[in-house]
């Protein structure tokens, strides 16, 4: 009887160990895939769409897609930016595009400017928003249909004044985040 219980115990123990080892290997693979996803997601946030490196122009995948795919440009740049669309992009964790929408809402929706600023301040407590906002501008600003048109597949900036206005609003937001941080730091001092 003792021997039977020992054999049953050993069989159960082996079964549990084999299941646990399989689960660990699956979790490890899932963790690696998740880590890779987060790494690419973070890289996308911190990469500017267009950047000069030495004597060459560096384009991110997003910038290339904006330049080459007219359908993607139509989806990316709505005729009218709306809060529900921006919120949907935030929920989908498509943050860079969501931030572009909110920057445009900050510029056009004067009734909700404070909401836009508060959104950026919340994210600034988690990530380097200043860098993300600048990179968002350089990803989406240069191919924005309000600023340029595409002729024969090449962008032509027709409204540098609008581009400059959008850049100035982005700087205004960045300055507000810096101001908020500095006043918050002063308030914490005894």
Pair 60, 37 in one domain: no
Write 47-55 long-range contacts (CB < 8 A, 24+).
47/135, 47/139, 48/134, 48/135, 48/138, 48/139, 49/135, 49/138, 49/139, 49/140, 49/142, 49/143, 50/138, 50/139, 50/142, 51/138
Pair 28, 111 in one domain: no
pLDDT-based confidence at residue 152 (cuts at 50, 70, 90): confident
Identify the pLDDT of residue 43: 61
Q: How many domains does the chain have?
A: 2
Pair 95, 3 in one domain: no
Pair 58, 147 in one domain: yes
Predicted confidence (pLDDT) per residue in 109-119, tens digit: 999 999 999 99
Identify the pLDDT of residue 10: 47
Kindly tell me the number of DSSP H helices and DSSP E strands found in the chain: 8, 4
Identify the pLDDT of residue 144: 92
Predicted confidence (pLDDT) per residue in 3-62, tens digit: 544 444 444 444 444 444 444 444 555 566 666 666 666 666 666 677 667 777 777 888
Task: Please give the model's pTM, rounded to 2 decimal places.
Answer: 0.74
Pair 94, 143 in one domain: yes
Pair 105, 95 in one domain: yes
Q: Which domain holds residue 141?
A: 47-188
* Contact call for residues 166 and 104 (beta carbons, < 8 A): yes
Three-class SS state of 57: strand
Report the pLDDT averaged over residues 146-157.
86
Identify the pLDDT of residue 51: 67
Pair 83, 14 in one domain: no
- Considering the chain, what is the average pLDDT of its residues? 80
Pair 55, 40 in one domain: no
Pair 16, 78 in one domain: no
115 exposed, middle or buried (CB, 10 Å; 0-12, 13-18, 19+)?
A: middle
Pair 94, 8 in one domain: no
């Amino acid at each position: 009887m003792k021997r039977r219980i020992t054999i049953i115990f050993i069989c159960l123990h082996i079964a549990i160990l084999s299941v646990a080892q399989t689960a660990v290997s699956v979790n490890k693979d899932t963790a690696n895939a998740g880590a890779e996803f987060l790494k690419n997601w973070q890289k996308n946030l911190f990469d500017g769409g267009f950047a000069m490196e030495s004597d060459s122009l560096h384009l991110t995948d997003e910038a290339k897609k904006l330049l080459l795919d007219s359908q993607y440009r139509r989806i990316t740049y709505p005729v009218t930016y709306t809060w529900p669309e921006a919120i949907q992009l935030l929920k989908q964790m498509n943050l860079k595009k969501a931030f572009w929408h909110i920057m445009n809402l900050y510029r056009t929706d004067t009734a909700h400017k404070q909401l836009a600023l508060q959104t950026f301040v919340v994210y600034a407590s988690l990530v380097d928003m200043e860098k993300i906002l600048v990179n968002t501008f350089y990803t989406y600003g240069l191919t924005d249909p309000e600023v340029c048109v595409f002729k024969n597949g090449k962008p032509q900036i027709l409204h540098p004044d609008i581009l400059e206005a959008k850049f100035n609003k982005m700087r205004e937001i960045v300055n507000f985040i810096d101001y908020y941080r500095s006043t918050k730091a002063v308030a914490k001092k005894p």
